[in-house]
Structure 1
Amino acid sequence: MISVIVPTYNEEASITTCLKSLSHQTLNRNEYELIVVDGNSKDRTCELARAYADEVITQTSKKVGGARNDGVLRAEGDIIATTDADCIIPPGWLEIIKDDFESNDIVQLYGTVYPIEEGIKHKLSLMGANTFSRIGYYTRALYYTLGCNTAFDKKAFVKAGMYRCIDAGDDLEVAQRMRKIGRVMLDDRMKVGFSMRRFQQFGTIKSVYEWLYIVTNGGKASKYSYSKRNYK
């Protein structure tokens, strides 16, 4: 079984679309479970999520990484897949994950992203990120994994220490520990629709700068708040 973990916080505008896309996969519904881990939302996120998720639990650990860890500890699957509440998941996503873990000796799998919102600027931004991800992977210089589109062997993930509970870069950092245990693999077929709402509301340059600042400061920085933001 595959356990899909979706962290949420005040996501009533997007959670239904995300979970609908996860409910209409080419993989049989009895082959995966959906676990929503909510960070004490003040809106209807949990109410809406219960219509699709197998479990909706309240987050007890800190940050987005902690929410994912909470979900993993409740998961029944031997494969863990993670995404975000503002993403749209293509129908074949889980089947690709299943096939890759069955056909390859891997501990972590990740893919690329495409923008949900229209606009050449968004396409170019994510084209750059995907190119960086591919170069890092094929040169073995950096595994640029994203929490919205990754999957783990559960036993290996727990053995590696799971996600660090930091402000940003937890999804990038975990791959460096996973690669010490086994093979980390990129599959270009494994795509998810990525929301550009942060860049639209706060600006691309500002958002990227804040992320880089936090990551280069070890993932913790009181100067900027990167998680649990409210979007218009």
Structure 2
Amino acid sequence: MISVVIPHLNQPGALDACLANLKAQTLSHDSFEIIVVDNGSAIMPTDVISRFPGVRLLHEARPGPGPARNTGVAAGSGEVLAFIDADCRAHPDWLSSIWRSLHSSPSGTVLGGDVRIWHDASEHLDAIAAYESVFAYRFRLYIERDGYAGTGNMAMFRRDFDSVGPFAGIDVAEDMEWGRRARRAGLRFRYIPEMIVYHPARSSLHELYVKWDRQIAHSRNMAEGTPAWRLRWIAQALLVLASPAPSIVTVLTSDRLDGVGARIKAIAIMCAVRLHRVMTMLSLLRNRRAVAWNR
């Protein structure tokens, strides 16, 4: 049995699409359960859940997707845990890929998969979607370079999750923090390209800025108190300021974009986002910033 855990906050339409895709999985339906954990929505998504018999809806009052996932894990009965976000859509073979890959991997392996931008194949990518197709969810990079998997597409045996412990709260990047503890516990991360979920592109530059503001605040909170953290923080900001030049090559050679127009649009948004990141990082040198998810 696989327990699929989905944290939710004020995204009923996206949750409906997510559940529809999970119900269309090629893996036998008696091999998995779906647990949605609401984290304080203005209106509980009971109408959405009622359209999908067998899906369980729980509530977690502590803010943050980490605590919501912990509640789902505790309520589940599967020997395998699979995590996906409410605004994602799973490829039909997502759970089958998880099952095959876990049982062909060494003991103590945590799986992370590919996250692609969802868009209608008949439509041209707008500037935001073009940028996010290259830079938004670089899960292979997170796993192979940074040693952690994003919780929007991650799976493991329950016994391995228990050996590490629950996800942290909203003040830190719970996937990165959990990954650090997992590595200390002796677990290893493996990238599975066939383990695919899709995420819609953000609708505006402002939404991209909000996403980065949250991630930068997480990183700042995790860095505070470490030796010479302010000097290292300034150095990181300078690296971000210089990063557009090599990233242009990444855009021009990416296999996730077609045509010159899409690449030019992606480069323009990339430069705007990098400048915003630098300004935000420098503004947080003196004071912490409260973190809220799904704004």
Structure 1 distance, partners of 2:90, 2:33, is 15
- Aligned residue identity for 2:112: Y
Structure 1 distance, partners of 2:211, 2:61, is 27
Structure 2 distance, partners of 1:69, 1:159, is 14
Residue number among 192, 201, 208 corresponding to 1:196 in the alignment: 201
- Of 11-20 and 173-182, deviating more is 173-182
Identify the residue that residue 128 of structure 1 maps to in structure 2. 135
- Aligned to 2:92, what secondary structure does the other structure show? coil
**What are the Cα deviations for residues 14-68 of structure 1, in whole angstroms up to 9, with x where unaligned?**
1111100011101000000000101232235122123325311111444110000
1:135/1:13 Cα in 2 relative to 1: closer, same or farther (>3 Å)? closer
What pairs with 1:13-24 in structure 2 (closer than 5 Å)? 13-24=13-24
Note if contact 1:210-1:226 (Cα within 8 Å) is conserved in structure 2.
yes
**What are the Cα deviations for residues 57-91 of structure 1, in whole angstroms up to 9, with x where unaligned?**
11144411000000000110011011111111110
Residue number among 187, 191, 198 corresponding to 1:186 in the alignment: 191
In structure 2, the gaps of 5 or more residues are 120-124, 225-286
Structure 2 distance, partners of 1:49, 1:201, is 32
Residue number among 158, 169, 183 corresponding to 1:165 in the alignment: 169
Identify the residue that residue 93 of structure 2 maps to in structure 1. 92
Task: Quote the offset at 1:194 in angstroms.
Answer: 1.2
What pairs with 1:79-158 in structure 2 (closer than 5 Å)? 79-105=80-106, 106-117=108-119, 118-131=125-138, 133-138=139-144, 141-158=145-162
- Aligned residue identity for 1:7: P
Note if contact 2:79-2:159 (Cα within 8 Å) is conserved in structure 1.
yes
In structure 1, the gaps of 5 or more residues are none
Identify the residue that residue 179 of structure 2 maps to in structure 1. 175
Name the structure with the higher helix share.
2
TM-align CA RMSD = 2.4
What pairs with 1:38-117 in structure 2 (closer than 5 Å)? 38-43=38-43, 45-52=45-52, 53-105=54-106, 106-117=108-119
Task: Compute the TM-score of the two structures, normalised by the length of structure 1.
Answer: 0.86
Identity fraction in percent: 25
Structure 1 distance, partners of 2:223, 2:36, is 24
**Paired positions, count:** 225
Task: Compute the TM-score of the two structures, normalised by the length of structure 2.
Answer: 0.69
Structure 1 distance, partners of 2:95, 2:204, is 29
**What are the Cα deviations for residues 132-165 of structure 1, in whole angstroms up to 9, with x where unaligned?**
x434544xx4124211111121111122112111
Structure 1 distance, partners of 2:142, 2:7, is 27
- Aligned residue identity for 1:156: D
